[in-house]
Amino acid sequence: MSKMHVKLKVNGDEVEGLAEPRTLLIHFLRENLKVTGPHVGCETSHCGACTVDMDGKSVKSCTVFVAQAQGADVTTVEGLVNPDGSLSVLQEMFREHHGLQCGFCTPGMITRAHRLLQENPTPTEEDVRFGMAGNLCRCTGYQNIVKAILAAAEINNAQKEAAE
Amino acid sequence: MKDDVATPEERSASLKGMGCSRKRVEDVRFTQGRGNYVDDIKLDGMLFGDFVRSPYAHARVVSIDTEAAMKVPGVVAVLTAKDLEPLGLHWMPTLAGDKQMVLADGKVLFQGQEVAYVIAKDRYAAADGVEAVEVEYDELPVLTDPFEALKSDVVLREDLAGQTEGAHGPRKHHNHIFTWEQGDKDATEAVLAGADVVAEEMVYYHRTHPCPLETCGCVASMDKVTGKLTLHGTFQAPHAIRTVVSLISGIAEHNIRVISPDIGGGFGNKVGAYAGYVCSVVASIVTGKPVKWVENRMDNLMSTAFARDYWMQGKIAATKEGKITGLWCHTTADHGGFDACADPTKFPAGFMNICTGSYDIPTAYLAVDGVYTNKAPGGVAYRCSFRVTEAAYFIERMIEVLAIKLNMDAAELRRINFIRKDQFPYQSALGWEYDSGDYHTAWDKALAAVGYVDLRKEQAQRLEDFKSGKTRKLMGIGLTHFTEIVGAGPVKNCDILGLGMFDSCEIRIHPTGSAIARLGTISQGQGHATTFAQILASEIGISADDITIEEGDTDTAPYGLGTYGSRSTPVAGAATAMAGRKIRAKAQMIAAYLLEVHDDDVEFDVDRFVVKGAPDRFKTMKELAFASYNQAIPGLEPGLEAVSYYDPPNMTYPFGAYICVMDLDVDTGEHEIRKFYALDDCGTRINPMIIEGQVHGGATEGYAIAMGQEIAYDDMGNHKTATLMDFFLPTSWETPTYETDFTVTPSPHHPIGAKGVGESPNVGSVPAFSNAVHDAFRPFGLTQSHMPHDHWRVWRIARDLGLHG
């Protein structure tokens, strides 16, 4: 199959490469770019392990062609760490509140939570449970994930307030 | 070190040993996407394998034409049973003493069965190749019902034709696998015949699937120069896989290196040996290149490792006051097309004989018949210790059915039948010796915590309101007191493929006082790197932060049987403590030498050895570690290392009391979990944060199983639940919030008293959810309705009871 030239931004870096038109974004990220944070869990958009941020929206990269990401700005969990390489508030809160076990859903979970907190910086528990319902976890029962996201929102807001 | 002023409490806290909620060391990698799972592994020249699968549940394979597939760009080779046959690999042994086709050999026995293996340059080309393989089938009659299978003339396993003796005794019919009996049949029947009251019920625990978020997969890499095979894979038991690969491939075991990297959840799915592993190994040998195989979700749900599917016919006898006098159970176990259950060899129905539960039942009998059907093989312990989930569900349903028959409160019926604290160690009628328990204390604590008496009053009021038309919602209170049996197990009666189920730990203390410990187990999310370091920190006085825990590489880790059946803490955790004690014993001799006193005159104090009666004369473990490398100590070898292979004297018996309060809408069948209280007693608690996380996760799996999750087939053997659209995994939206609690009754035979907890919440929560549904409809005459209690089935219960007016 003939290949097409794709160019996009991933975690702040301009990247380009050749890919078949049918290549899924998740496979381009994982196999061409070796960005292996996002995972494949179901191939049908149900589990959210492949969630990445594309032009300011959460997308499930197992059902997006890399061709659709032409020119897009894509962020994965690898791109969410602080500039100095330390864990972001959200990542730290997942650790603090035991919001992960096997870690397989975690990259998608954190990437989605990151976007959720942009969409709604002061969510209630119900908002978090609804906003995260596109990401499945088989280990935690979500209770500590919800706790971690609410804690991160609180810290973010306190930091914002202090800065103002 | 003489200026050390920290108090023993401060020194102890700095170790981050047992009992503290130490943050997980794994999370720094996982939270930034730096895990290393099988599909992340990329080797030079790596090829991809993918399966052609059968669309039929039972059919002859007339022909397989691979010519078109071989012309697909990128396809390198296509393997069929004919290619594997000369190697003797077209069939493989199962863990249950049966054999299983690796690739379809003349016929297929379930939909999704592996028929051909396409190897290609990338996963897209492999999928193209799969599409291009032409297979001609000749359909055969399909058997999806085990009861029908035992009567049918249709022979599923023609390869076993005429064999009246199976791996576990006589076979009664060509679709029969085994009969397994425990207890005293005659005595139990006599008790039933003479009892005041006998309650009888068929309890079905439906077929489901562990469905970890990461599917099964491997990367096989045969180095033809060194003759060494490296097999990365999602293996819950890497050492056992190495031995199995050696036995079936003929490659010497020292030339096989099995590596389990990070594993994205297991829950029993990753215990077995699958066709994908065998084909990938063969493909790597054939092509000389590394070959990766990773299931997609549909492959996973259709072919690797179902769980449950037990039809349990029960009879329970009691006095009219409610004292249970006998229990009888006959189970029909649907094993699918091959008997590939993952159980210890001597237990073809796992530990189903724990089905007397938490109760002092003097007489009992259990028989289990295994049956072949046209469904996928497996029968793994989905977050359970070998059929304990089925056993616990059975007895906790039978108790409820008996309570209805006696017109008694189910909480009180449990209370008067619990094994009393003073009866431990307790010998059960079906052959187990329960190590320790205090069920009455746990039960009373649980009932008080939820306000049981008030809940029953509220429920009675609700019933009145329902009857008078004020509400359409009923309220159910689901009770469970479960007893688990985990930590398999003593080598004298527990083995898998002849491998004793001990486990191991090897510790090396470095000169500067930090350490590495390697174990025969493998974490799949349980946090071993965190908790095993805590056990060691308490045992050897080195901070958990200074101890690396490593698992999963058979070239470096000591031999062990892996992680499943809640065995890591009971068995490998014990090995860790025992290896730690060997380190400590040697450190004591070094300390005595350096302090110029007799060995018996120094004692261990948190992180040091102190001269008895002279607290300012001591040597810290750090100092002793260095001394072991730089001092010539008479009678002692240099270095500070130890290894322990631990053969547990008994299983451990964690227990718990779970209570679920649920509202059910009789018109829509929808449920709302108002409260879920989980009290667990797992003996000594190593890391409360991790225990709580295990309970949340296991209870959520239980919620899924009880309320909607199933592997379903139609009469043609078509798999109806092969994607996450159809197979229920709860989201954050519907998952309940859990309240956790605990009591502590240490195991008397475990070095640190720990019992294991990972599977308790799955075992305990399923009957709690299910009993709540049943309890809501009890006033209208419901005694038993099979899971899963999804909205449709609950609606149907209400309809059948005439509640829709």
In this complex, do A96 and B23 lie within 8 Å of one another by their Cβ atoms? yes
Tell me the C-alpha distance between B51 and B129, whole Å: 9
Alpha-carbon distance B762 to nearest alpha carbon in chain A (angstroms): 11
Tell me the C-alpha distance between A42 and A104, whole Å: 12
Residues of chain B with pLDDT > 70: what percent?
99
Partner residue opposite A91 with nearest CB, options B32, B215, B731: B32
pLDDT, one tens digit per residue, over B237-274 is 999 999 999 998 899 999 999 999 999 999 999 999 99
In this complex, do B213 and A104 lie within 8 Å of one another by their Cβ atoms? yes
CATH 3.30.365.10 domain range(s) in chain B: 8-35+503-646, 306-488+651-800
Within 8 A of A41 by CB-CB distance, chain B residues are 213-215, 264, 297
Residues of chain B with pLDDT > 90: what percent?
97
Tell me the C-alpha distance between A142 and A148, whole Å: 10
pLDDT, one tens digit per residue, over B679-733 is 999 999 999 999 999 999 999 999 999 999 999 999 999 999 999 999 999 999 9
Within 8 A of B40 by CB-CB distance, chain A residues are 30, 36
pLDDT, one tens digit per residue, over B324-381 is 999 999 999 999 999 999 899 999 999 999 999 999 999 999 999 999 999 999 999 9
State the pLDDT at residue A104.
98
Q: Is the pLDDT of residue A119 over 80?
A: yes
In this complex, do B697 and A139 lie within 8 Å of one another by their Cβ atoms? yes
**B671 close to B663: Cβ distance less than 8 angstroms:** yes
Mean pLDDT of B116-126: 97
Within 8 A of A116 by CB-CB distance, chain B residues are none
Within 8 A of B297 by CB-CB distance, chain A residues are 41-44
Residues 6 or more apart from B439 whose CB is under 8 A from it? Answer: B358, B418, B419, B420, B421, B481, B483, B655
What per-residue string of b and e applies to B599-616 under the rule 16 or more CB within 10 Å gives b?
eebbebebbbbbbeeeee
Q: Dig out the tokens for B705 from the structure.
A: 């199983």
Q: Provide the whole-model pTM.
A: 0.97
Q: Is the pLDDT of residue B629 over 90?
A: yes
Helix, strand, or coil here: B217?
strand
Within 8 A of B689 by CB-CB distance, chain A residues are 98
Query: Average model confidence (pLDDT) for chain B?
Result: 97
Alpha-carbon distance A160 to nearest alpha carbon in chain B (angstroms): 23
Q: Where are the domains of chain A?
A: 4-77, 89-163
In this complex, do A138 and B697 lie within 8 Å of one another by their Cβ atoms? yes
Alpha-carbon distance B697 to nearest alpha carbon in chain A (angstroms): 4
Cβ count within 10 A of residue A18: 11
In this complex, do B297 and A44 lie within 8 Å of one another by their Cβ atoms? yes
Alpha-carbon distance B731 to nearest alpha carbon in chain A (angstroms): 5
In this prediction, the answer to ipTM > 0.95 reads yes
pLDDT, one tens digit per residue, over B142-164 is 999 999 999 999 999 999 999 99
The phi and psi torsions of A48 (rounded to 5 degrees) equal 80, 5
State the CATH architecture for A4-77: Roll (3.10)
Tell me the C-alpha distance between B692 and B711, whole Å: 29
Q: Is the pLDDT of residue B2 over 60?
A: no
Partner residue opposite B297 with nearest CB, options A23, A42, A100: A42
Bigger pLDDT: B2 vs B149: B149
DSSP string, B407-442: T--HHHHHHHHBPPGGG-SEE-TTS-EE----HHHH
Interface test with B, best of A1, A31, A104, A110 (most B CBs within 10 A): A104
Partner residue opposite B729 with nearest CB, options A23, A80, A136: A136
Q: Is the pLDDT of residue B206 over 80?
A: yes
Alpha-carbon distance A110 to nearest alpha carbon in chain B (angstroms): 8
Cβ count within 10 A of residue B465: 15
Within 8 A of A146 by CB-CB distance, chain B residues are 732
In this complex, do B212 and A138 lie within 8 Å of one another by their Cβ atoms? yes
Within 8 A of A94 by CB-CB distance, chain B residues are 27, 31
* Confidence band of B4 (pLDDT split at 50, 70, 90): low
* Confidence band of B397 (pLDDT split at 50, 70, 90): very high
In this complex, do B733 and A40 lie within 8 Å of one another by their Cβ atoms? no
In this complex, do B296 and A43 lie within 8 Å of one another by their Cβ atoms? yes
Angle (nearest 5°) at CA B459 between B454 and B465: 130
Residue of chain A minimizing CA distance to B729:
A136
Tell me the C-alpha distance between B621 and B628, whole Å: 10
The phi and psi torsions of B100 (rounded to 5 degrees) equal -140, 140
Cis ω before B425 (30° cut-off from 0): yes
Pairing state between β B291-294 and B256-259? unpaired
Within 8 A of B211 by CB-CB distance, chain A residues are 138
Tell me the C-alpha distance between B109 and B336, whole Å: 8
In this complex, do A31 and B42 lie within 8 Å of one another by their Cβ atoms? yes
Q: Does domain B38-140+215-263+271-303 have CATH number 3.90.1170.50?
A: yes
Tell me the C-alpha distance between B762 and B766, whole Å: 6
Helix, strand, or coil here: A149?
helix
In this complex, do B31 and A77 lie within 8 Å of one another by their Cβ atoms? yes
Residue of chain B minimizing CA distance to A135:
B731
Residues 6 or more apart from B624 whose CB is under 8 A from it? Answer: B587, B590, B591, B594, B609, B640
pLDDT, one tens digit per residue, over B553-568 is 999 999 999 999 889 9
Q: Domain B306-488+651-800 adopts which CATH fold?
A: Aldehyde Oxidoreductase; domain 4 (3.30.365)
Q: Dig out the tokens for B534 from the structure.
A: 């805590």
The position carrying tokens 């119900």 is A126
Tell me the C-alpha distance between A152 and A129, whole Å: 15
Alpha-carbon distance B630 to nearest alpha carbon in chain A (angstroms): 38
Q: Is the pLDDT of residue B1 over 50?
A: no
**CATH number given to A89-163:** 1.10.150.120
Residue of chain B minimizing CA distance to A107:
B33
* Confidence band of B5 (pLDDT split at 50, 70, 90): low
State the pLDDT at residue B6.
83
Residues 6 or more apart from B734 whose CB is under 8 A from it? Answer: none
Mean pLDDT of A91-117: 98
Alpha-carbon distance B308 to nearest alpha carbon in chain A (angstroms): 18
State the pLDDT at residue B201.
98
**Encoded amino acid at A105, one letter:** C
Partner residue opposite A143 with nearest CB, options B23, B40, B737: B737
Interface test with B, best of A29, A138, A147 (most B CBs within 10 A): A138
Tell me the C-alpha distance between A109 and A112, whole Å: 5
Mean pLDDT of A93-110: 98
Give the relative orientation of helices A143-163 and A89-96 as an angle to the nearest 10 degrees.
Answer: 140
In this complex, do A103 and B701 lie within 8 Å of one another by their Cβ atoms? no
**B207 close to B198: Cβ distance less than 8 angstroms:** no
Highest CATH level, class, for B8-35+503-646: alpha beta
For residue B208, the cross-strand partners are B307
In this complex, do A41 and B735 lie within 8 Å of one another by their Cβ atoms? no
